[in-house]
Structure 1
C-alpha cells in the first residue's frame, strides 16, 4: 500500500486554495489508477476551518488536524500516521499526472529499490489536471543514493520520490520543523541511506507556479528566515557527514557544496548584496563550507567557486545574478 501525504495550510479560508487541494486529491486518485490499495493523508497545519471534502467520501482519505508549525512538521505528522509500505509527498497546490504514479510503483516493486526518483514539470495550470504526452519512462541503472549524489546534482524537493517506509523507519528520518527549506536537509540524508535507488526524468509530478506561494514570495523577513534555515540545514548536513566518516560521503560533500553556492547566489541578488555577502561568507567559513571546494562538479560551479573568493569576482557574480533574477 502507498500513503500519499498532503500538507494543507489555508489560514484565510481562501476558496481558491481549497479548490487546489481538491485538485491535488483527484490527481492522486487518478495517478494511482490500478493500484489495489492506497491512502491519502490530508494534514491540516493549523488552518482556520476545515475544507469541504464531501465529494471524496468514497476515497480512502485520512484527515488530521495539528497546530501550525510549517510544512516539515505537517509532513512529519503524515509520516507518523501513515500505514503504507511506500510513502510519497504531494503539496496541496500541485498535482500528479494521470496514471504516472502507478507506473513508478510497479517499477519500484519489480526492481526491489528502496527509493525511486521521478521528474517534476513546472506548470501554470491553475484549475484542471493537465495531461501530458503518454510514453514509457526510462530509468537509470540502480545505484546507491550516495553514488547518485556523487554523479548528479541533487534537487532537494522531497515530493519527487517514492520512498520505502522501512527506509524512513529504520533511520528515523524526519523533516526540520518551522523551516522554509526542510527538503534540503531531509532529502540528502534519505539519499545517503538508500542502498538501491532508481531514477527517471519522466514527469510524474506537476509543480504549480503561482504568486504568493512559499517558494515565490520573498519579503525581507522571509529572506532572513530562509538564510537562517539554510545555515541550519548546512550545519545539520555537515554534522551528519562527520558522523559517517567511515563511509563514502562524496555525494554528501557535493550536496553541501551546491547548497552553500545556492545560498550565496540568493544573497548576491539582494540590493544590499555587499554587506549581506560578506556576512554569509563569514557564516559559511565558520562552518567549513567556504571557500567552495572545486571537485570538478561542473563548469558553472568551478567559475562560481573561483569568482566568489575576490571582491571583483563577487561584483561580476552579483551582476549575473541580478540579470538571472
Structure 2
C-alpha cells in the first residue's frame, strides 16, 4: 500500500487547526503522513501543531520563518516520504473517503495527476457541489493542446486554480523540479500550470472530496496585502507565455488568460481601498494609476472580450472616473 503525504501549510490558523487536522486523521485510507508546516506563525498555531504530533505518529511538524504558503508547501514536498502528494488548506474540510478514492484512481490509471470534485461553502450555509468529469483519462498532450476546458475551477474538466482536491505523483514533481513560487497568493495556479507542462496523463473523477470555505470580503481585507498587483503580475507573466505556447492559435485560451489578468488587476485596485490599510486618497490614486499603466503595458493585446466600465476607464486613462468607480464599488460591497 503506497503512502500519501498530506502537506498542510499553517500560518496563524489556531482557530482551524484542530478541526482541519482531525478530518485528515479520520481518512479511511490508512497509509498517510500529515506534514504540518508552521510558516512562522505568531499565534498559538505552532504549539497546537506540536501537541497534535505528540498524539498521532502520522503527524510530523516543521517550523520555518514566514515566507508564505508556496515555500511552506515546497518544504513539505522536500520532507514527504509518500509516493503520492496531497495539498490541504487547514481551514477547509476533506471528506473521510477522499484520499482512498484518489489513491484508487491513481492506482487504476497510473496518472500523474488525479482531480476530484469539491463543494464551495460561502459560510452563509449556501453550498455548491462541483463534480468533475466521470472517470475521464486524458494524456498530457491532450490537456495542453486544448487547455481551455481546464482553466475553469468550476468546470467538469477544471484543473486551475487550487492545488487542493487533487493527488499528485511525487516523483513527477521531483524529477521535473516543479515548485510553488514564493508568492503570498496565486501560487497554486503557477504550480499547476508548470506541473501540467510535464505530465503524461490526467484523470478526473466525479466524487465530491473536499469542502472549500470561500472568503467573504471582511476576511479578504485581512488576508490580502495592499500591493496585491505585484503578486498577480509575477504569476500572470509566468502563466500566460507558457499556456499560450501550448495554444498559440486558440483565441478562447488567449481571451481567458488575459481576462483573468484583467480581473486580478481589478481586484488589486479594489484592495487599495482596504479599510484596514491607512492610505491617503493621493496615495491610493497614484498607486491605482501606476497599476493601470503597468497592466496596459504588459497586455499583448487589448481586445480580449472585456468591455466593462472599469476596463474602459483604464484603457482611456480616465483615472478620476476609475477612482470614483472603485470607491463606489468598495462602498457598495462593504457588507458582503
2: distance between equivalents of 1:257 and 1:150? 13
2: distance between equivalents of 1:189 and 1:106? 25
2: distance between equivalents of 1:47 and 1:264? 29
Give the 3-state SS of the residue equivalent to 1:101 in structure 2. Answer: helix
RMSD, matched Cα: 4.0
Once structures 1 and 2 are overlaid, which stretch shifts more, 259-268 or 90-99? 259-268
2: distance between equivalents of 1:321 and 1:147? 38
Equivalent position of 1:24 in the other structure:
20
- Specify whether residues 117 and 77 from structure 1 end up closer, same or farther in structure 2 by C-alpha distance, changes over 3 A only: same
Give the 3-state SS of the residue equivalent to 1:283 in structure 2. Answer: helix
| 1:47 equivalent among 21, 41, 47 | 41
Q: CA deviation at 1:115?
A: 0.8
Q: CA deviation at 1:186?
A: 1.6
Q: CA deviation at 1:100?
A: 2.4
| 2:200 equivalent among 178, 195, 209 | 195
Provide, for residues 71-92 of structure 1, a one-character-per-residue CA deviation record: whole Å limited to 9, x for no partner: 1111110011111121111112
Provide, for residues 83-106 of structure 1, a one-character-per-residue CA deviation record: whole Å limited to 9, x for no partner: 112111111222201212311221
1: distance between equivalents of 2:328 and 2:208? 30
2: distance between equivalents of 1:286 and 1:170? 36
1: distance between equivalents of 2:83 and 2:55? 24
- Specify whether residues 101 and 80 from structure 1 end up closer, same or farther in structure 2 by C-alpha distance, changes over 3 A only: same
Q: Is the 8 A contact 2:136 2:205 kept in 1?
A: no
Equivalent position of 1:297 in the other structure:
none
> Which stretches in structure 1 are left out of the alignment for 5+ residues?
11-16, 295-300
> After the TM superposition, which residues 1-325 of structure 1 pair with which residues of structure 2 at under 5 Å, given as runs?
1-10=3-12, 17-30=13-26, 32-33=27-28, 35-48=29-42, 49-51=46-48, 52-54=50-52, 57-123=55-121, 139=134, 141-143=136-138, 144=140, 145-147=143-145, 149-154=147-152, 155-200=160-205, 202-209=207-214, 215=220, 217=222, 222-224=225-227, 226-238=228-240, 240=242, 245=245, 247-248=246-247, 253=254, 256-267=257-268, 269=270, 278-294=289-305, 309=315
Q: Is the 8 A contact 1:119 1:205 kept in 2?
A: yes
2: distance between equivalents of 1:265 and 1:183? 20
Q: CA deviation at 1:238?
A: 4.1
Report the count of equivalent residues.
300
Q: CA deviation at 1:306?
A: 8.2
> Which stretches in structure 2 are left out of the alignment for 5+ residues?
153-159, 274-280
2: distance between equivalents of 1:319 and 1:146? 40
1: distance between equivalents of 2:86 and 2:66? 21
2: distance between equivalents of 1:152 and 1:23? 31
